[in-house]
Amino acid sequence: MADSVTVEAAANATLNETAGNATARIPATVEGMSVAYLSLFLMAIFPIFVGSFRSVKHHQDQKSKFEDSGEKPDTMSTKDAAMFPLIASGTLLGIYIMFQIFSKEHINLLLAFYFFFLGVLALAHIAGPIFNKLLPASFPNMDYHLIFTQGKGENKEEVMNYEFDRKDLVCLVVSAVIGVWYLWKKHWVANNLFGLAFAINGVELLSLNRISTGCILLGGLFIYDIFWVFGTNVMVSVAKSFEAPIKLVFPQDILERGLEANNFAMLGLGDIVIPGIFIALLLRYDISLKNNKRTYFYSGFVAYCLGLFTTILVMHVFKHAQPALLYLVPACVGLPVLVALVKGDLRSMFSYEDHSDEKAETEGKDKGKDAKKDK
């Protein structure tokens, strides 16, 4: 939770802010800006689409685990959603103060190693299934099972239980090479690979349990984003100083300088992940209706596209950093709710819950009754 707050507070910033010093930069042309914004647009919607469908499988696995062991899945409560903007504000302000007190170079050096390990693991998690398909059948694969425990006898506890194979190790090595490239060059391509991996993992693994919880979270961050972008210079300052893969960037001078371009437009991962987990919840609600339609998912997805397009347009017209959630939140919440109102699904939508305790308890009781009958 703390990591996601840090990422949200630092990254949920602006489009069209440069990533470093403004000297020796080629001014952006209309063509260059068009390529940069289109690329950011595509990179933003890709994690939401992929992560949403991955979240379905993740929640099915969580549900099976819940039914088998009774271990409750980690989901964001209404209280968590209400507190999140306050926690994020405190974190953002704390990071801003740190940059005022300590050397920016030293802070970013620590952050670089921290995000190196996180990025390698995130990238390996996403790329693992791809490597399993790409590596030939003749690859000398071997399974491994790593178990780490503490204590002895009755006090023995399992700390880690991890199964993997040689294909996973190959994937981890390739991800580590990309990580070293990022540490060494801080190249924007490596940054984006890590950023996309973080975004997909965020949409897949961060869980909203109810539509109402999502509305509270998005509503709070709607106010948070407006205040910290328009009310102060804190968020823009942090986003420009924070050299970590918590934002997607694309150079506006790529047509002139190629891969060595350095005049960046950027989009914070918070502007992708936060709406993304709400859209992923809409997809799971669609699946719960069992009508083979994805009405609410696609309405939320289209709304996100329209909101992001509006953000870019307004930013370009007014030449000022924009709080993307100002446009994304009303679109992503408003359109699906309007569709539900028209279709008569509003009550069903707001009563939907991914993991219902009552349902689990009922199923548990039924299983207990069946076990007694068998005896």
Known catalytic residues? 225, 271
In contact, 348 and 300? CB cutoff 8 Å: no
- What is the distance between the alpha carbons of residues 336 and 297, in angstroms, rounded to a whole number? 8
Beta strands in the chain (DSSP E): 143-150, 157-165, 247-251, 264-268
Number of neighbours of residue 305 by Cβ within 10 angstroms: 16
| SS3 per residue for 71-85 | CCCCCECHHHHHHHH
Give the integer Cα–Cα distance in Å for 331 and 3: 27
Question: Residues 275, 304: contact at Cβ < 8 Å?
Answer: yes
Strand partners, 160: 148
Q: Which token pair is 32?
A: 């260059």
Tokens of 111: 């952050």
CB under 8 A, 24+ apart: contacts of 28-35: 28/252, 28/253, 28/263, 29/252, 29/253, 29/255, 29/256, 31/255, 32/251, 32/252, 32/253, 32/254, 32/255, 32/256, 32/263, 33/252, 33/265, 33/316, 35/250, 35/252, 35/254, 35/255
Q: Which of 176, 186, 180 is nearest to 108 (CA)?
A: 186
